[in-house]
Amino acid sequence: MAPELIARKPASIQSDVYSLGVLLYQLIVGDLLRPITTDWSKDLDNSGLREDLARCTARNPNERFASASELANNLRALEKRQTERALQEALRRAEEEARQRQMVEEHNRQLEAAYAKVSETVTRLQLQRAEELFAAGDSDTALAYLARLLRKDPNNRVAAARLLSDLGLREIAFPITPPLQHKDQVHSAEFSPDGQSIVTASGDRTARVWDARMAEPKILLLRHQEGGGFAQFSPDGRCIATASTDKTVRIYEARTGRLVSGPFHDEEYPVSVLFSPDSERVVVARTAFFPSGHARVWDVKSGQPITPPLKHLGGLSSAVFSPDGRGVLMASWDFTAQLWDAQTGAPIGPPLSHENLSVWAARFSPAGQRIVTGCGKSANV
């Protein structure tokens, strides 16, 4: 707690900055229960962090950062500040030595030597830091360090060799087509079963089918009233199901874009739409903002419901067909997973209960003989 609050003075932004400083100290030392004492600075090796924390926890509120944003900007610039400070200190020493000799040429040589030494030191430290990151498994950040070194000094053979060595061990993916462009965020993208087409769904209220090789649009599917949602090919690749936050689901012919059936409308939002293995049915899982949800099996061609609503007491995470298409497995926030008959809508067996844990995923084994559920920090078979 900030000293002024202990003295029963009004709270201020600087009081919050003091609390942020205490939290930052606890995060750095890895102990969220440790209080900040008068000798806290001995726990920090980084002089820049010591300065920032000292300013955060100054007894006089006027000496603290003016806002959390100012503190954040200082922390982002920490590495740059340290490099600049090291360079400034080295240059100061070099200038002082040059003044002592009172010779301009010697002065310039000393400055150049000092600058070169600092650059070499910084480079060595950065190379050392990159190696530490490689050893810790954070190769992406390590590669960023090496790339930064090479931008500053393209002739740095050590950095170049280390960079090429790591890249040679990677399988790097490169884009092979231009972007498949929508006018708003893309919420889902999926290949067709034969890999020749891609279907995308976007916040611009459309779903589009693209040529996967040429990245050219093939079909613009009918617009939904709202954006968001997702689109999915049927297992046989002949149909596409689209869902939207306008609470509708539609089925289209993948080759022509012709509407096959739908819209399937409901008062709750679709969270998943999955085809049956034979591509003749879809199961639509829906969830409202309040804790309830249901799923329903629909006939793709007629657009008619096959089952009544398969209801849970909580919202739904997913609904999937069994490998033989005879059952539907649903995962719910009501702490259960339930297997249902995909033809009659009757429950098959009792619910699979989980102790006060929402079930976020439920899937069949390939043969359909076992079920795995995911909840909390564990999965259960």
**Domain positions in the chain:** 3-76, 80-167, 186-380
- In angstroms, the CA 375 to CA 361 distance is 7
Please state, in angstroms and rounded to a whole number, the distance separating the CA atoms of residues 83 and 144.
Answer: 17
The phi and psi torsions of 117 (rounded to 5 degrees) equal -65, -40
CATH of the domain spanning 186-380: 2.130.10.10
Q: Say how far apart CA 318 and CA 272 lie, in whole Å.
A: 6
The per-residue pLDDT for 227 is: 64
* Nearest alpha carbon to residue 57 among 28, 12, 19, 5: 19
Q: Which residues of 265-280 are buried (b: 16+ CB within 10 A; e: fewer)?
A: ebebbbbbbbbbbebe
The predicted structure's pLDDT at residue 206: 83
Bridge-based pairing state of the strands 378-380 and 336-341: unpaired
Choice among 97-106, 112-121, 185-194 with the minimum mean pLDDT: 112-121
Kindly tell me the burial class for residue 200, based on how many C-beta atoms sit within 10 Å of its own C-beta (0-12, 13-18, 19 or more): buried
pLDDT of residue 152: 80
Q: Is the pTM above the cut of 0.75? A: no
Report how far residue 109's alpha carbon sits from residue 117's, in angstroms, rounded to the nearest whole number.
Answer: 12
The answer on pLDDT for 73 being more than 80 is yes
Q: CA of 370: how far to CAs of 210, 291, 304, in Å?
A: 37, 28, 30
Confidence grade of residue 172 (pLDDT, cut at 50, 70, 90)? low
pLDDT for the residue numbered 193: 94
* Helix/strand number for the chain, H first, E second: 8, 19
Return the higher-pLDDT residue of 306 and 175. Answer: 306
* Mean pLDDT on 21-47: 88
Mean pLDDT computed over 212-240? 81
Q: Cα dist. 350→28, 296, 335, 338 in Å?
A: 49, 19, 13, 7
**How does residue 327 score in pLDDT terms, banded at 50, 70 and 90?**
very high
Q: Which residue has the higher pLDDT, 173 or 134?
A: 134
Using 50, 70 and 90 to split pLDDT, how confident is the model at 248?
A: confident
Say how far apart CA 87 and CA 4 lie, in whole Å: 38
Choice among 50-64, 285-299, 338-352 with the minimum mean pLDDT: 285-299
- pLDDT at residue number 288: 54
pLDDT of residue 215: 83
Give, as one character, the DSSP assignment of residue 246. T
* Rounded alpha-carbon distances, angstroms, from residue 290 to 56, 265, 267, 316, 335: 42, 18, 12, 11, 16
* Token code pair at residue 188: 């889902």
Other Cβ atoms closer than 10 A to 169: 7
CA 306 to chain centre: 38
What fold characterizes domain 3-76? Transferase(Phosphotransferase); domain 1 (1.10.510)
Is the confidence at residue 198, as pLDDT, over 60?
A: yes
Q: Is 195 left (phi over 0), alpha (psi -120 to 50) or beta?
A: left
The share of the chain scoring above pLDDT 70, in percent, equals 95
Give the pLDDT confidence score for residue 13 in this predicted structure.
Answer: 92
The band of 230, judged by pLDDT with boundaries at 50, 70 and 90, is confident
